[in-house]
Structure formats: structure tokens, C-alpha cells
């Protein structure tokens, strides 16, 4: 899939907060500078898709030239969401009075007064977007003085890797708690015993947390259980060489190396929908065993997610506590404590003691 970059022609330097914003203003602004996936590319085909990012209701669609447009889901004539309308060629048509909007957001036609010029200010508010890795990424408030970036995930542009995903689920959890669960190496042997967790190996050997320009790199070996119906042979256990690359604030690739060049990558990018609701872009890519049905592999990953979900949704407080005097940390939490400190540096998470 090609990459399309769209600059927002009509975004204000100080973007207004969404109506009914559930975030505090400082938190919203700290998050809105970053890029988040809002849809898989194959979800945006021939009709507009409604999605919410940071309480901002959005509409996502693809022009006939395959350019992706992300706009505020609101026609400013009478405040009607564009999701009620439809697409004709490169234009979106509002359902209420038929105003037509082009890919740059400008209104091109007001059917009730075709004899008058269309006011220049009559626009849909559009947002910066990038289509890459089979995902559509959006940033609500590009800060040109301190630009942020999307992760570098070359496997997703390597034809040797097959990418697989299901529709992105929503959880009643904060993205910080969900991401931290993804990088938590101490819970495998406890809640994942229905999939890969090995209850016989609960100890977590010391590991290093390496700082990188984008965030952190952690390598961790785990002697995982190997289920009887596994596609990885019939041994009861299997050594998983795992390498995490966490791209701050909320995206992580886990590369599981099964030896002999066999790599299975798991990607986790939780997108904040509202303060306590998160859409999870959780997908996989692997360069071996392409004969194994995609459905079988996704069902396996979904069962792992299903083991995590009730735990993460029940964590209290919901927001990631970023002051290290909150909660209790053990040696195996080094990755999490590094993450919390970095989130605090970005003005994210919750500092309960402040």
C-alpha cells in the first residue's frame, strides 16, 4: 500500500479541544501532538468510516486517487456529522442539505444557491494523516517546532513478512495500562497459562532496558509452553527469544525469534478514543510458515489478548501512575518503571502525588 501524506490546510496552531472532551486540557494537548493509528488501510475502501481519536469524532475516506482524507466529522452548516452522508468520487456530501466537500476540506458546492460563490471559510476541518504499514495514522495537532513520528517497522514493508489483523477492538481501559501490560514480562506464567504461559517458570531473570532515540529496547528470553495444536512442533516447551522495541508514547513491536531466521512480530498500538476507552491496533507479521491459515494464527493471538483484557480493564486506578512512589515495583518491572518515567517526561500518564 502506498504512503499518502496530507498536510492540513486549515488546522489552527492551537487546536481547539473537542466538544465533551473527557481529558484534562494539558493531557489532551500532550497526547494530540503524537501520531496514532485510527484505522487499518483495508477498513477504508469505498465509503467513509467514522472513528474517534482523543474524543474528536473523525471521518476517514479514500479519494478515487487513493489519497486518504481524515476530517472532523462535522458539517459546520448546521452541526451534522458527515457520517450520515456519503461519498461521490473525491467528494463527501452532507446528508442534511447536500453541501459537497473536496479532499482538501473546502466546500465545492452549496446546492441551495448554485448562483452564489461558495464562501472560502466553508470547510471541513482536516487533519494530517499518513498511510503506512497498512495503517492510517493521524495527528490532531502537529507541532512543527517539536515534531513527533510514527514507528519504524520495516518488516511491514518487507514482502517476506505476511501481516495479519482483525478489526481493532475497543477496551474499557487507558492506553498506558494496556501498553504496559504488553511489555510486562512477569505475567506470562500467570494469566497466559491457557496459551503460552509456563507456570513452571515464574522467575524473571534480570534483563537490561536500553534507551533508544525512539524509546526503549528490551531483550528477554522465555521458555514458553507449546500447546499440543501448535504449528511449532510437538515439544511441550519452546524457547522464545523476545525483543521489544517501544516507540514512545504508545506503540510497541515485539519480535519473537524462533531461530533459523523465523520471526514472528506482534505489534501493539493502543489508540486513545476517550479518557478511559482505547482502540487497540494489535496485529502480527511473520516471515515463516505462511501455509498456516491466517485465521488460526489470529485466533491464537486473540486468545492471548482475551487473557489480558479482564485484568487490564479492572486495574485501578485506570490511569497509568507515573510517579514511581505509586504502586510497588519489583526487579522484573524495570521495563515498566522506565516506561512510566518516560511517560511522565512527556506529560502523560497520571501523577497522583502532584
Binding residues for Fe ion (CB under 5 A): 308
Q: What is the distance between the alpha carbons of residues 348 and 27, in angstroms, rounded to a whole number? A: 6
C-alpha cell at 77: 452548516
Q: How far is the CB of 82 from ligand FES (least distance, A)?
A: 8
The alpha-helical segments, DSSP class H, found in the chain are: 25-32, 175-182, 188-191, 294-314, 334-345
Partner from Fe ion, ligand FES, none contacting 99, C-beta within 5 to 8 A by type? ligand FES
Q: Which stretch binds ligand FES (CB under 6 A): 75-83, 131-139, 208-216, 287-295?
A: 75-83
DSSP secondary structure of 11-43: --SSPPPPTT--S-HHHHHHHHTS-EEEEEGGG
Q: How far is the CB of 123 from ligand FES (least distance, A)?
A: 12
Q: What is the distance between the alpha carbons of residues 156 and 37, in angstroms, rounded to a whole number? A: 14
Among 53, 60, 75, 322, binds ligand FES (CB under 6 A): 75
CB 209 within 8 A of CB 329: no
Task: Give me the phi and psi of 99, to 5 degrees please.
Answer: -60, 140
Q: What share of the chain is helix, strand, coil (3-state, %, to 5)?
A: 20, 30, 50
Residue closer to ligand FES, measured from CB, 103 or 251 = 103
Which residues lie closer than 8 Å to 142 by C-beta, 6 or more apart? 8, 11, 33, 128
Among 30, 94, 135, 285, binds ligand FES (CB under 6 A): 94
Indicate whether 101 belongs to the interface with ligand FES (CB under 6 A): no
Q: What is the distance between the alpha carbons of residues 78 and 92, in angstroms, rounded to a whole number? A: 16
Helix (H) or strand (E) holding 90: none
Partner from ligand FES, Fe ion, none contacting 308, C-beta within 5 to 8 A by type? Fe ion
Q: What is the distance between the alpha carbons of residues 318 and 350, in angstroms, rounded to a whole number? A: 9
Residue closer to ligand FES, measured from CB, 73 or 268 = 73
Q: How far is the CB of 256 from ligand FES (least distance, A)?
A: 49
Partner from Fe ion, ligand FES, none contacting 285, C-beta within 5 to 8 A by type? none
Partner from Fe ion, ligand FES, none contacting 80, C-beta within 5 to 8 A by type? ligand FES
Partner from ligand FES, Fe ion, none contacting 75, C-beta within 5 to 8 A by type? ligand FES
Indicate whether 122 belongs to the interface with ligand FES (CB under 6 A): no
- Give the interface size with ligand FES as a residue count (CB under 6 A): 8
Contact positions vs ligand FES (CB under 6 A): 75, 77-78, 80, 94, 96-97, 99
Amino acid at each position: 500500500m502506498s504512503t499518502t501524506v496530507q498536510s492540513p490546510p486549515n488546522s489552527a496552531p492551537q487546536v481547539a479541544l473537542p466538544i465533551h472532551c473527557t481529558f484534562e486540557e494539558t493531557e489532551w494537548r500532550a497526547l494530540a501532538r503524537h501520531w496514532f493509528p485510527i484505522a487499518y488501510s483495508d477498513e477504508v475502501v469505498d465509503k467513509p468510516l467514522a472513528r474517534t481519536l482523543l474524543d474528536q469524532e473523525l471521518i476517514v475516506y479514500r479519494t478515487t486517487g487513493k489519497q486518504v482524507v481524515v476530517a472532523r466529522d462535522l458539517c459546520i452548516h448546521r452541526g451534522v456529522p458527515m457520517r450520515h452522508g456519503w461519498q461521490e468520487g473525491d467528494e463527501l456530501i452532507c446528508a442534511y442539505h447536500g453541501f459537497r466537500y473536496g479532499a482538501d476540506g473546502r466546500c465545492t458546492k452549496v446546492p441551495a444557491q448554485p448562483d452564489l460563490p461558495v464562501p472560502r471559510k466553508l470547510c471541513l476541518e482536516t487533519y494530517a494523516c499518513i498511510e503506512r504499514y497498512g495503517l492510517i495514522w493521524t495527528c490532531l495537532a502537529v507541532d512543527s517546532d517539536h515534531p513527533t513520528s510514527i514507528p519504524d517497522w520495516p518488516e511491514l514493508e518487507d514482502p517476506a513478512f505476511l501481516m495479519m489483523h482483525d478489526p481493532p477492538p475497543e477496551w474499557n481501559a487507558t492506553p498506558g495500562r494496556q501498553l504496559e501490560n504488553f511489555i510486562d514480562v512477569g505475567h506470562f506464567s500467570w494469566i497466559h497459562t491457557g496459551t503460552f504461559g509456563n507456570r513452571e517458570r515464574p522467575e524473571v531473570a534480570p534483563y537490561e532496558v536500553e534507551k533508544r532515540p525512539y524509546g526503549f529496547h528490551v531483550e528477554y528470553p522465555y521458555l514458553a509452553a507449546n500447546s499440543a495444536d501448535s504449528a511449532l512442533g510437538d515439544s511441550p516447551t519452546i524457547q522464545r527469544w523476545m525483543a521489544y522495541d517501544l516507540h514512545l508514547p504508545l506503540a510497541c513491536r515485539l519480535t519473537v525469534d524462533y531461530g533459523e531466521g523465523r520471526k514472528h512480530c506482534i505489534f501493539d498500538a493502543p489508540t486513545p478514543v476517550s479518557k478511559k476507552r482505547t482502540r487497540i491496533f494489535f496485529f502480527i507479521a511473520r516471515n515463516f510458515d505462511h501455509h498456516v491459515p491466517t485465521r488460526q494464527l489470529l485466533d491464537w493471538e486473540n486468545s492471548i489478548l482475551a487473557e489480558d483484557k479482564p485484568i487490564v480493564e479492572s486495574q485501578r486506578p485506570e490511569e497509568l501512575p507515573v510517579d514511581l512512589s505509586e504502586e510497588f515495583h519489583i526487579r522484573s518491572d524495570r521495563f515498566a518503571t522506565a516506561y512510566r518515567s518516560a511517560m511522565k517526561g512527556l506529560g502523560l500518564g497520571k501523577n497522583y502525588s502532584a
